[in-house]
Structure 1
Amino acid sequence: MTRKKSFSDRLADWLPRLVMAPSLLVILVGVYLFIAWTGWISLSSSRMVPQYDFVGLEQYYRLWATPRWHTAVANLFIFSALFLAVTIGVGLVMAILLDQNIRAEGALRAVYLYPMALSFIVTGTAWKWILNPDLGIQKVVNGLGWESFVFNWITQPKFAIYTIVIAAVWQSSGFAMAIFLAGLRGIDNSVIKAAQIEGATLPRIYASIIVPMLRPAFLSVTVLLSYIAIKNFDLVLAMTNGGPGNATEVPSTFMFSATFRRNQMGVGAASAMMMLMTVAAIIIPYLYSELKESRDGQ
């Protein structure tokens, strides 16, 4: 015969749900409800104000017929490819160097991680000053006597997107380093000792044994940095505001400009849904692989 639960027992069972209910409600309304609303607006004829009619994929046709959107997508591919490659490379090298049990490791780790504590607005403003030909690197070098030195990429349409990459790499490399370092510290030292007994050099050990064992860390870093790259908005806004011209336009700045500056709410919503689908295409396979590995490991 089962004992009937007392009020205190029932309260203990429901208390976690009651505590989590406000947060879940905020997420439901503030995230998923507005995602659904944005999706509906992207299928409407909305311009300056929302309209709740249905025009099918008309806004998406208008979106892909806009040259600025093509520029934004091309810039996203350039930025993402360089950002991921350089950040992962720099982060991995820094993690390997810190893994050698050097002195002041804690201080160096804090220094490497410090940029990640800054907002992208602060980073963008600082790098805007650093790269400004009249204030930053070029002026300092010219003042030292090298008057022929020119570094004005931030004012050149062909090179401005690369200045965004420089600032983003500076901010995110420490984050990648921390993940790789955690992965390195999780590898059994006996693997390295066994390879050394066989006569393998330390660079060969890292290249052939250690780095391939960091596959989960590489996957995590790639997914997280891809998400940062796709939603990149405030860094571009602070550094170049999408300029010169629209040379550094990315999907997020295009969405903002279309919605709030050009009164094309439907097109802006369509661009937002395209960004959401891109993020989902990255996150969903990652989550599936993680869940699959956890089920296989049980």
Structure 2
Amino acid sequence: MMSLIVLSPSLLILSVFVYGFAIWSLVISMTSSKLAPKYDFVGLEQYFALWSMDRWHVAVSNLAIFAGLFISLSVGLGLLLAIFLDQRIRAENVIRSIYLYPMAISFIVTGTAWKWILNPGLGIEKLVRDLGWATFSFDWVVNPNMSVYTLVIAAVWQSSGFAMAIFLAGLRGVDQEIIKAARIDGAGPWLIYRAVIIPMLRPVFLTVVVILTYQAVRSFDLVVSLTGGGPGFSSDLPATFMYQFAFSRNRMALAAASGMMIFMTIAAVMVPYIYSELRREARNER
């Protein structure tokens, strides 16, 4: 009873400001609201309008590119860094702190820093040309066809250290007796990692992928600070699309519809994850 009393304020706040506003957004997405809420039911009209817009298709395509590259590169680099640190090297704590340092920085700072680094007149391109390669070009941040990949670079730089920390914790939790048995059977380090250790990290992989997917879908501050969604709207993501139409174009219902699509995308990732975790816990209790 006491635990329920202690938790009730948090549960109330969560119910109102998360689930309550999610339901309100669903209601608004089925109206013709523009600058202010207008409770006239128009069905799925806003959703049809949303999916007929080229800009929304660009945002969804960009999300697929960004999420796919961001998650795969962050997982791959994180795993490699974790394996490297798992060799009990000297100065491990210092190196681990260096890898984790980007996680202490907000995405606004990360985006601003990489905007300077990738600026053709200030960053990498200017540096290489000053060193003598006059024809070198690295103008992705101002190139509509490549701007979305600059988001990947910045996001991977910031999040691969987080993936490394999770994988390292998983590696340190592997039973050493299993590894010793594999060595006695003649397995080398590569085979041990590939056939023994990495398959045992399946729950860790699932956790990392789910968290990074959630982070990719809700990405907003990185886009605003690095590319501003441009050039044009070539690096738009659904989150920035929603913001633009809610606060700059006064199309509240359309923005709510895009918000519900984001919500459903996150739910499509989280629900299977929660289900698998519940099943695993149920099996462990038997």
Q: TM-score range by the shorter chain?
A: over 0.9
Q: Give the equivalent residue in structure 2 for 1:114.
A: 101
Q: Give the equivalent residue in structure 1 for 2:164.
A: 177
Instruction: Give the one of 14, 34, 40 matched to 1:47.
Output: 34
Corresponding position: 1:158 with 2:145: yes
TM-score (normalised: structure 2): 0.97
Q: Give the equivalent residue in structure 1 for 2:266.
A: 279
Q: Give the equivalent residue in structure 2 for 1:213.
A: 200
Instruction: Give the one of 14, 28, 50 matched to 1:27.
Output: 14
Q: Give the equivalent residue in structure 1 for 2:59.
A: 72
Q: Give the equivalent residue in structure 2 for 1:255.
A: 242
- Rounded Cα–Cα distance in structure 2 between residues aligned with 1:75 and 1:292: 34
Aligned length: 285
Deviation at 1:278, TM superposition (A): 0.6
Q: Letter of the aligned partner of 2:256 in structure 1?
A: A
Gaps of 5+ in 2: none
Q: Give the equivalent residue in structure 2 for 1:6.
A: none
Q: Give the equivalent residue in structure 2 for 1:200.
A: 187
Corresponding position: 1:131 with 2:110: no
- Rounded Cα–Cα distance in structure 1 between residues aligned with 2:206 and 2:22: 27
Q: Letter of the aligned partner of 2:4 in structure 1?
A: R
- Rounded Cα–Cα distance in structure 1 between residues aligned with 2:84 and 2:138: 30
Q: Give the equivalent residue in structure 2 for 1:147.
A: 134
- Rounded Cα–Cα distance in structure 1 between residues aligned with 2:11 and 2:105: 28
Instruction: Give the one of 210, 217, 225 matched to 1:223.
Output: 210
Task: Determine what percentage of the aligned residue pairs are the same residue.
Answer: 57
Describe the superposition over 1:49-87 as per-residue Cα deviations: whole angstroms up to 9, x where unpaired. Answer: 111111110000110011100000000000011111111
Deviation at 1:44, TM superposition (A): 0.7
- Rounded Cα–Cα distance in structure 2 between residues aligned with 1:204 and 1:28: 49
Describe the superposition over 1:143-196 as per-residue Cα deviations: whole angstroms up to 9, x where unpaired. Answer: 222222111111101111001000000000011011111111110112222111
RMSD (Å) for aligned C-alpha atoms: 1.0
Describe the superposition over 1:255-276 as per-residue Cα deviations: whole angstroms up to 9, x where unpaired. Answer: 0011111111111000000000
- Rounded Cα–Cα distance in structure 2 between residues aligned with 1:152 and 1:191: 50
Gaps of 5+ in 1: 1-12
